[in-house]
Amino acid sequence: MRRVRHRAAVLLLLAGAVWGGESCASAPPQLSPSGVAAFQARRVVKALDILRDFAIDAEAQTPKVLSTTTTRKVVTYHRSAVSTIGQVPSGWAPTVSQGLLEVQRDLPAAERARLGPYFSLVSALIAEVTR
Amino acid sequence: MNGLITTIIQQLPSIFDFIRQEHAQQHPGEPPLTDDDVKAALAAAVASSIAKDDQWLAAHPEPPA
C-alpha cells in the first residue's frame, strides 16, 4: 500500500511538471522555426536528464534500486538520444521516441516499472512538443 | 523500498528545477530570447548532459563477455 502511495506521489509530481509547465512553455513568438525547434528540444533534453539522473541515483543506492546493467542501458540510450537532439534539433523525434520504446522493452519488468513515471514524463513531453 | 524512497527524495531538486525551468521560460518583462540564445542553451545542455553520461559509463565499464 505504501509502495502504491509513493508511486502515485511520483506520478503526480511528474504529471504536474508536464501539465503545469505546458501553459508557460510555449516557444516565444519572436523565434524562427529553427529557434522554436531548439527551444523545444532543450526541454526534452532536460526531461531525458531527469530519467538518466534517476537511474544513476537508483543504481548508487545500497542495496541497488536499479541494476548496473539496466542503468547502463538507460545511460547509453540517453547519450544516444541527446546526441541525436543536438545533431538534428528539427528531426530528432522519431529516433528518440523509437529508442525510448526499445529501451523500455529491453528492461526487466520490475525495473521498467520503477522507471515508469520517468519514461512517461519523456513520452508526454515528446508528444507535446511534436504535436 | 527504502532505497527507492531515498532515490526519489534525491531526485526532488532535479524535478523541482525542471518545473521551475518550465515555468521560467519567457514570462512578460523578461528580455526576449533570440534564436542564438536558445541554440546556445541547447548546445550547452547537450554538451553537459553527454559529459555526465560519459563520466558514468567510464566509471561503469561493460563487464567482459
What does the pLDDT read at residue A28? Answer: 81
DSSP letter string, B15-59 = HHHHHHHHHHTT-TTSPPP-HHHHHHHHHHHHHHHHHHHHHHHHH
Where does the pLDDT of residue A66 fall: very low under 50, low under 70, confident under 90, or very high at 90 and above?
A: very high
| Number of independent structural domains in chain A | 1
Mean pLDDT of A51-76: 96
0.90 exceeded by the pTM?
no
Domain that holds residue A21: 2-130
Give the per-residue pLDDT at B30: 64
Domain ranges of chain B: 33-65
For A8-30, the pLDDT digits (tens) are 555 555 555 554 444 446 788 88
User: Predicted ipTM?
Assistant: 0.82
Overall average pLDDT of the A92-108 stretch = 97
Cell 512538443, located at residue: A129
Cis peptide preceding A63, ω within 30 of 0: yes
The answer to whether the CB atoms of A31 and B11 lie below 8 A apart is no
Higher pLDDT, A18 or B43: B43
Contact B45 A32 (CB under 8 A): no
Chains A & B: contacts with CB separation below 8 Å: 140
**Side-chain-side CA neighbours of residue A103 (13 Å):** 29
Mean pLDDT over the full length of chain B: 82
Hey, are the CB atoms on B19 and A21 less than 8 Å from each other? yes
Measured in angstroms, the CA of A85 and the nearest CA of chain B are apart by 8
Amino acid at A31: L
Give B30 or A111, the one with higher predicted confidence: A111
Nine cell digits for residue A26: 510555449
